[in-house]
Structure 1
Amino acid sequence: MKIGLPLRQAIIGWDSGTWGQCLDFWQQYVPEFKGKQVLELGASQGGLSLYFALQEAEVLCSDLTSPEAKARPLHQAYGQSQIRYLALDAKALALPDQSQDLVVFKSVLGGIRRGGETDPKPVVMAEILRVLRPGGWLLFAENLKGAHWHMFLRKQFVSWAAYWDYLSLPDLQVLTQPFAESHYQTAGILALCGRNEFQRQQLSRLDRVLQKKWPENQCYCVFVAARKASDPT
């Protein structure tokens, strides 16, 4: 499916030139979405739900509280009235075992831990594995710690940076270890510095060139495709 800039911005939101690269990355591993049961976690305005619905997947759009009020206007603007909405806690998904072909999310794992509580990310990943069908895929995009100056800028200009649990690549490898296979790609160097979406778009184009030589652990976001093991034959 060809995705122009306005649609990409509707799907991804902030910094779509960088984060939107996840769509092409995911499609390398899951090229066909038609008829798939897709669960979006932490949906907010439901951008990823829109993306998969436009490709004829059967989509469940979820967040900790129902995202319907925020997400439905976007979905209806693109003629996608068949999407279902549900309040779901990613740490205890009220869904049957092996009921989903795909679980997807963007920028969720870093926001689920508060204060000194036990790290809930392994619990979330275990729940995702439970609801995925054998051979199903987890597709997600997350914030990385990136370079030291990325973290400095976040603390200066991002209100939620003080509590956000930014991932490292070793963290990612631990979280995806239970999957049969996992793949990742990092992105984002300068675009984070843009003061508006136009500037971020221009900087993301430069980043695509720089990323070819840039250390992957010094980028500020990561895209992941991880497959659950198939049933033994």
Structure 2
Amino acid sequence: MITELTRHIIQWDIKSWSKALEYWERSIDWEKIQNGLELGGREGGLSLWLALKGKKTICSDLINTKKTAEQLHLRYNISSLITYQDIDAADIPYEDYFDIIVFKSIIGGIGRNNNFKGQQKVFKEIYKALKPGGKLLFAENLLASPFHQRLRKRYVKWGNTWRYVTLKEMREFLKDFSSVDIKTTGVLATFGRNERQRIFLSTIDDLILNKACPENWKYIIYGIAEK
């Protein structure tokens, strides 16, 4: 069952993307985490998640971070743990500072108009900003199958400008980290026209397609990388 809190944290295509959240929940020793940074926060869902664990969190986006994200955090009475900062993910003004950095679905947009170097730079900056032993929790859109690629170009307004990453590229981006664990999910769910449809299609993915389809046909990559 998808809770209201999960909806507020994940916000879109909830059943598919929340698999990353479930994996992070069980894979991190949260007692050792003191602070975190959310990149590309928009409404600040992942900042909410970290703050509800009692972690001091910087919620960031490129512009207007506080204006966009604060209302959600006020609703949960955790604003005292969150500060807001406009940060370019390709130019993070911290070094050896964070225990956790987390993002969801930002790399494709950073790579607009084939900006591969900009995408590379984000991971260099994240590595720099993490403490030794710090962890990156990532969830990102993959290039996926030729079918996904055609439909994005036709029906998604940013589908012709975003630079969706491949599995091979993600592994290359993460090569500096001491350990990396990668998982993939999602085939049909992204094609749902509303959240009810996406939940139904995600169930089909779980029952059949996530098992039957190769990794490079899936549209979500998530995991943990340790500095």
- Tell me whether the two structures share a fold, i.e. TM-score over 0.5: yes
Q: Note if contact 1:22-1:141 (Cα within 8 Å) is conserved in structure 2.
A: yes
Matched residue, 1:55: 53
Following the alignment from structure 1 to structure 2, what is the Cα–Cα distance between the partners of residues 190 and 118?
Answer: 27
Following the alignment from structure 1 to structure 2, what is the Cα–Cα distance between the partners of residues 117 and 177?
Answer: 19
Q: Note if contact 2:37-2:60 (Cα within 8 Å) is conserved in structure 1.
A: yes
Q: Note if contact 2:65-2:86 (Cα within 8 Å) is conserved in structure 1.
A: yes
Q: Note if contact 1:34-1:55 (Cα within 8 Å) is conserved in structure 2.
A: no
Matched residue, 1:151: 149
Structure 2 residue runs without a partner (length 5+):
none
For each residue in 1:81-140, what CA deviation from the matched residue of structure 2 results, as whole angstroms up to 9, or x when unmatched?
A: 121100111111122x21100110011111113436562122111111111001000011
Give runs of aligned pairs for residues 43-192 of structure 1, distance below 5 A: 43-82=41-80, 83-95=82-94, 97-115=95-113, 117=115, 119-192=117-190
Q: Letter of the aligned partner of 2:91 in structure 1?
A: A
Query: What is the TM-score when the length of structure 2 is the normalising length?
Result: 0.94
% identity of equivalent residues: 38
Question: Structure 1 residue 66: deviation in Å?
Answer: 3.4
Question: Structure 1 residue 33: deviation in Å?
Answer: 5.8
Following the alignment from structure 1 to structure 2, what is the Cα–Cα distance between the partners of residues 100 and 75?
Answer: 21
Question: Structure 1 residue 192: deviation in Å?
Answer: 1.0
- Local SS of the residue matching 2:175: coil
Following the alignment from structure 1 to structure 2, what is the Cα–Cα distance between the partners of residues 115 and 193?
Answer: 23
Q: Note if contact 1:180-1:226 (Cα within 8 Å) is conserved in structure 2.
A: yes
- Local SS of the residue matching 1:223: strand
Following the alignment from structure 2 to structure 1, what is the Cα–Cα distance between the partners of residues 157 and 77?
Answer: 34
Aligned residues: 225
- Local SS of the residue matching 2:184: strand
Q: Note if contact 2:113-2:163 (Cα within 8 Å) is conserved in structure 1.
A: no
**Which deviates more from structure 2 when the two are superposed, residues 203-212 or residues 109-118?**
109-118
Matched residue, 1:196: 194
For each residue in 1:48-95, what CA deviation from the matched residue of structure 2 results, as whole angstroms up to 9, or x when unmatched?
A: 101111111111000111311111111111121121100111111122
Structure 1 residues 64, 212: CA separation in 2 closer, same or farther (over 3 Å shift)? same
Following the alignment from structure 1 to structure 2, what is the Cα–Cα distance between the partners of residues 110 and 116?
Answer: 9
Matched residue, 1:218: 217
Q: CA RMSD in A?
A: 1.6
**Which deviates more from structure 2 when the two are superposed, residues 37-46 or residues 86-95?**
86-95
Question: Structure 1 residue 200: deviation in Å?
Answer: 0.5
Following the alignment from structure 2 to structure 1, what is the Cα–Cα distance between the partners of residues 141 and 148?
Answer: 11
Structure 1 residue runs without a partner (length 5+):
229-233
- Return the structure number with greater helix share: 2
